[in-house]
Chain A
Amino acid sequence: MDFIRPQNGEIQVFGLDSRNDSVAIKNTVGFLSSDSILYPKWSGDQYLAFLAKMRGPADMTSLIKRLDLDPSIQYRHLSSGNKQKLALVVAMYGMPKLLVMDEPTKALDPLLQQEIYTVLHEYRRDGGTVFVSSHNLPEVEKICDRVAVIKEGKIVANETMQSIREMAIHIISISTAAGIKQGDFELPNVEITHASEKHMLLKVKGDLNPVLHVLNKYKLKDLEVNHANLEDIFLEYYK
C-alpha cells in the first residue's frame, strides 16, 4: 500500500511498480487494516460520498444490505462488529481487483466471521483476489488458496493450500487399556508431542507404517489419525 518505503528491491502489483505507480495501483486495490480506525464523526453515507469523489461512483447498496449495516450512523456510535462491516464496505468499494486485508475478522463473533468468509468467497468467485495477513490459521485455511509462511522477515514457505494438506504429516492420538511404553515410539520421523500412562499424541512425518507396526503390540481403546492442520505445519517451520 506504499506505507513503508523500500530500502532496496521492488514490488510489482498487476505489472505496476509499487512506488512509481502507487496511485494507479491503489485504484485497483482495496485495503482493510486490523488497526486502522475510520473517522469517528463520519457516517457510512459520508464515507461512501467521500469515496465516490476519490474513486468514482459505485453502488454498494447490496453489500450494505447483505451485512445489515445502517450507513446513516456515525462510526463512533457503531459496535465493533458494525465498525468492521463498515471498514469492509470501504475496502470493497467499487469491487477492486485486489483486496489487501490484515486480520479481517479480528474481535468478531463467529456468526459475523462466517458472513465475512461468505462475502470473501463470493468476491473470489467473481474474479477478485484476496491477500490476507492473519494469525488466525483456521481462518487462513478457510479463505486462502495459497499460503506463505514468513519467518524472521523472510518467506520460508509458499505453498498452495492443497499441497499443504497433502503434506504427509499426521497427528495420531492413541489411547490404550493398559500402559504405553514411550520408548516403543521413539522412531525416526516420529515426534511424541504428549505422553501419559495410557495416552499418547504423535506427530508423524512420512510413512505411517512403522507406527502402525508398533501399535499391533497394544490393545487399543481408541485411535485417531488426522492430517496435520495449518497450525501444525506452521509450527514446523518455526522449529
Chain B
Amino acid sequence: MKALILKELRERRLSILAYLIGAIGLMWLYVSLFPTLQPQMESYSKLLESFPKGISQAFGLDQRAFGTLEGFISSEMFSLMWPILLLFLSISIAGSTIAGEIDKGTLATLLSQPISRTRLFVSKYCAGFMSIATFTLLSVFSIIPLAAVYSIQYQGKNYISMAILGLMFGLAVFSFAMLLSSVTNSKGFVYSVSGGLLVLMYALNIIAGFKPSLEWVKYASLFHYFNASGVIIHNHIDTLSYVVLIGIAICCSIPALILFNKRDVSL
C-alpha cells in the first residue's frame, strides 16, 4: 500500500506544487499589502458598516476585525480565492485518480497487480487526503512566517483552526468527488457535476444572506459550514461544521469504496 500511496503522490507532486505556489504567492501579496492598507482600514470598516448585514455575511466580511491581519486575509483570501484553489485541487485529484485512470486506460496495470480493490481505493484515498493536507497546512501556515517578515501581529492559534476547517472542507468535497469517480469512467463527469453543485451551493449561500425569507437554504450549502471569517478571526469552529463536513466525508467515502469494489472496470 505504501508503494501505491507514494506512486500517487509522485504523480501529483507538480500539480500540488503549482497550487501551493499560487496560494502562497497570493498570501504573500496580501500580507505585504497589509501594512500599507492598515491605516485606511478604519474608513473601510465604516464603509462596510453601511452595507446590508447580508452582504457582509455572504462574503465573510467582518468590519469589526478589518483592521487586523486575520480580518484582512479572511476577506481577501479565505472568503473565496483560497477555497476555490482547495476545491479545484480536491476535485481534480478525485476525478483523475479513478475515473481519469479508467478513461486513460492506465488502471489496468494497477488492477492486474496482486492488490485488492479495497487496498487500491484506500491507497488512492489516503494519497488524495495527504495531497489536500499538504496544500492546506503549507498554504495556511505560510501566513505566519510572512507576517513575521513584515512585522505584523498575528493570532497563531487561529491559523491552526483555519487549517482544521480547510482540511475538513477539502475532505468533504474530495470524498463526494471520489464517490462520483468510483461510478463513472469520465473525469469530465466528476469535474462538471462536482463543480456545478458547488457553484449552486455558493449561490445558495449568497441568496440566503440577501433574502431573510430564504435564510434556511444556507443549510443546503457546504459554504455555510466553511465559515472562514468566524474561524480565522474568532478562532471558533461551529460544532455543526464538524458534524456536517466530517459526516459528508464519511457518508461519501464508504459508499465510494463499496461501489468501486462492485463495479465492472471496462478497459
Residues of A that sit less than 8 Å from B by CB: 1-5, 22-24, 26-27, 29-31, 33, 35-39, 41, 50-51, 53-55, 90
Assess whether A1 is in contact with B111, with CB atoms less than 8 Å apart: yes
A177 to B113, CA, bound (A): 63
Q: Are A37 and B113 in contact (CB under 8 A)?
A: no
The answer to whether B106 and A3 touch across the interface, beta carbons within 8 angstroms, is no
Task: List, sorted by A's number, 8 A–B pairs whose CB atoms are closer than 8 Å.
Answer: A1-B112, A5-B263, A26-B112, A31-B108, A37-B105, A38-B106, A38-B109, A39-B109
Q: Cα distance A33–B111 when bound, in Å?
A: 12
* B34 CB to nearest A CB, Å: 40
Closest to A24 in B: B114
Cβ-defined contact, B3 with A27, below 8 A: no
Residue of A at shortest CB range from B101? A39
Nearest CB in chain B to that of A55: its residue? B114
In the complex where A23-B116, A37-B104, A37-B105 touch, is A2 in contact with B111 (Cβ < 8 A)?
A: yes
Known: A23-B114, A54-B113. A39 touches B11 (CB 8 A): yes
B115 touches A23 (CB 8 A): yes
6 cross-chain pairs, A with B, having the tightest CB-CB distances, nearest first: A53-B3, A36-B108, A31-B112, A37-B105, A26-B114, A27-B114
Contacts of B106 in A (CB 8 A): 36-39
Chain B: CB-nearest residue to A53:
B3
A33 CB contacts on chain B under 8 angstroms: 105, 108, 267
Residues of B within 8 A of A55 (CB): 113-114
Query: Is the contact region of chain B dominated by helix, strand, or loop, or is it mixed?
Result: loop
Interface size class of B (residues with CB under 8 A): 20 to 34
Which B residue sits closest to A54, measured CB to CB? B113
Contacts of A26 in B (CB 8 A): 112-115
Chain A positions within 8 Å of B266 at CB level: 3-4
In the complex, given contacts A3-B108, A33-B105, what are 18 additional A-B residue pairs having Cβ atoms less than 8 angstroms apart?
A1-B112, A2-B111, A2-B117, A3-B111, A3-B265, A3-B267, A4-B265, A5-B264, A23-B114, A26-B112, A27-B114, A30-B112, A37-B106, A39-B106, A41-B11, A50-B3, A54-B115, A55-B114
A21 to B221, CA, bound (A): 44
Asked if A36 and B114 make an inter-chain contact with CB atoms under 8 angstroms apart, the answer reads: no
> B2 CB to closest chain A CB, in angstroms?
8
B129-144 residues with Cβ-Cβ distance < 8 A to A are none
> Min CB distance, A48 to chain B, in Å?
13
B262 at the interface (CB under 8 A from A): yes
CB distance from B5 to the nearest CB of A (A): 11
Contacts of A53 in B (CB 8 A): 2-3
Nearest chain B CB to A9's CB is how many angstroms away? 15
Complex Cα distance, B113 from A26, in Å, reads 6
Complex Cα spacing A1 to B266, Å: 11
Of A3, A23, A33, A38, chain B has the most CB atoms within 10 Å of the CB of: A3
B73-108 Cβ-contact flags toward A at 8 Å (1 or 0):
000000000000000000000000000000011101
How far in angstroms is the closest Cβ of chain A from B10? 9
A8 to chain B, nearest CB (A): 14
- A23-B116, A26-B114, A54-B3 as given contacts; A36 in contact with B265, CB under 8 Å: no
